[in-house]
Amino acid sequence: MNFIDWISQPWPWYVAGPLIGLTVPALLLLGNKSFGISSSLRHVCAACLPAKVPFFHYDWKKEAWNLFFVGGVFLGGILATQFLENTQAFKLAPATQAALRAYGIKDFSGLMPADLFAPQNLFSLKGLFFFVIGGFLVGFGTRWAGGCTSGHAIMGLSNRQWPSLVATCCFMVGGFTMTHLFLPYLFKFVN
């Protein structure tokens, strides 16, 4: 097996998880930096928007490394989809497939169900709810919580920060609540 074949295989959780977890001490040891993705949007806005919004007036250049990190994540995603395609069939648990079929989702050929994330859904009622309103709620929640799930759950919990524990618990409760209480009604409404 050559290197490309080896790296394009799905990595088990016990390899990928520790690698993600090791980014925390690496960032702290190499530059006293905090891991997080959502703050990069603020840095981009501070760099690109000449408006006099106080929230964007700070020395964003000290956090330019974060923009390179996010750019690397984006570039890595592009390279992985172009050159490291996994040819194995996507496997989804039968119970999950049955639950999604009850919501009207029938295509399980990829990571994102085409029934939801197809381009033709973008300008539909389904797209309004899942892309526009859902995206707004994720952005609002991220700003309100003072960071995203990766920042709080990976970095904040590693540093034993109480606000990150509270935020991570709220992320989990919100996810379970949405999935089990609201999502079934939302699917009935938009289908």
Would you list the domain boundaries of the chain?
Answer: 1-88, 122-191
pLDDT at 14: 92
Longest dimension (CA), the chain: 56
What's residue 165's pLDDT?
93
The CA-CA-CA angle for residues 21, 159, 74, to 5°, reads 45
How do residues 116-167 score in pLDDT, each as one tens digit? Answer: 787 888 888 888 888 888 888 888 888 888 888 878 888 888 888 899 899 9
Tens of pLDDT, residues 41-61: 888 888 887 677 888 888 888
Judge contact between 34 and 152, C-beta under 8 A: no
pTM score: 0.70
